[in-house]
Amino acid sequence: MKRNSTIALFFVVFFLYSCAKVDKEPPIISFLEVNGKTDEVIYIGIPKLSIEYEVFDNEFVVDSKIKIVENANLDSGYFYIHIQSINANAYTGSLNVTLPDSIFQLKHQLTVSIDAFDDSGNQATQLNTIIKFR
């Protein structure tokens, strides 16, 4: 009797697991705005960035990651990363970053990108708002 109930339990667990819906849809980044603009290339005259973005998913967005990277052939370029824990279906976030004087004075280009991750491990990336200095 014990063996039959163990086998029945195994089949019930197997059936429920095989019927589970697997989320293959990555999160969606609906917009990435830098200093009020959504252009691929923006020009700034002050060393401050105001970043706004919105992410959502059919299941659950776990977190987002904003990266600001200096586009220069340097061994040690400027790199900034901000990880925001979300744990919701939709999220609108904002971030203010003051750039170091050295970056602003050298007038190197920066790239801003955002990644979003859902609870199934799917990832979305919105790339490249290029920032140039005036």
Tens digit of pLDDT at every position of the chain (134 positions): 566 667 766 666 666 555 556 788 999 998 889 999 988 899 988 889 999 999 999 888 999 999 998 876 655 677 889 999 999 999 999 999 998 887 777 777 888 989 999 988 899 988 667 888 87
pLDDT value, residue 79: 85
Q: Domain boundaries in the chain? A: 25-133
pLDDT value, residue 71: 76
Q: Which residues contact 101 (CB under 8 A, 6 or more apart)?
A: 47
**Other CB atoms within 10 Å distance of the CB of residue 17:** 8
E strands, 27-78, where?
A: 28-34, 41-44, 48-71
Q: What is the pTM of this model?
A: 0.75
Name the fold adopted by 25-133. Immunoglobulin-like (2.60.40)
Nearest of 57, 102, 56 to residue 78 by alpha carbon: 102
pLDDT value, residue 27: 93
pLDDT value, residue 59: 85
pLDDT value, residue 96: 95
Per the structure block, which two tokens stand in for 3? 């063996």
